[in-house]
């Protein structure tokens, strides 16, 4: 499953960051999940709870911030936040847009237990 490999690389990232900061553990893992990232938050949470037991994240709480899509329109020059998966500018209905945010998943913050 896609989410399992994401969580595994996330855990590796957490472990190396914890090592760098000589932390005893990790209290909280905060993620940003773009709605176009293809990541299913419920599946990700489930994978996190399963995998964390074996890792430094075993006491960590997972916080997921869902990032809506942000479009920059090249025609009317407006930036809009949209909740659906679309590339149509909601202001002028142009499809000449650029996706600014909402496409990626990233680690925003780790709360370390030192």
Q: Return the SS3 of 43.
A: helix
Q: Is the dihedral of CA 81, 45, 38, 54 positive or negative?
A: positive
Q: What angle do CA 21, 26, 30 make, to 5 degrees?
A: 105
Tell me, residue by residue from 19 to 58, as one string, x for binding to Zn ion by CB under 5 A and - for no binding.
Answer: ----------------------------------------
Is 14 annotated in a binding site? The answer is no
Structure token pair of residue 18:
């914890």
Region near Zn ion per CB under 5 A, out of 24-32, 42-50, 55-63, 73-81:
73-81
The nearer residue to Zn ion, 83 or 113, going by C-beta atoms, is 83
Shortest distance in whole angstroms from residue 95 CB to Zn ion: 9
User: Beta partners for 25?
Assistant: 113
Q: Which residues of the shown chain bind Zn ion in the complex (CB under 5 A)?
A: 73, 75-76, 89, 91-92, 94
């Amino acid at each position: 499953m896609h989410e399992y490999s994401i969580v595994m690389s996330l855990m590796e990232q957490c472990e190396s960051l914890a090592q760098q900061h000589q932390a005893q553990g990790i209290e909280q893992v905060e993620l940003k999940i773009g709605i176009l990232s293809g990541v299913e938050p419920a599946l990700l949470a489930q994978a996190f709870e399963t995998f964390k037991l074996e890792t430094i994240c075993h006491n960590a709480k997972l916080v997921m911030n869902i990032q809506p899509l942000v479009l920059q329109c090249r025609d009317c020059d407006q930036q809009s936040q949209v909740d659906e998966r679309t590339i149509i500018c909601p202001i002028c209905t142009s499809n000449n847009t650029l996706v600014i945010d909402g496409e990626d998943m990233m680690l925003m913050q780790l709360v370390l237990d030192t």
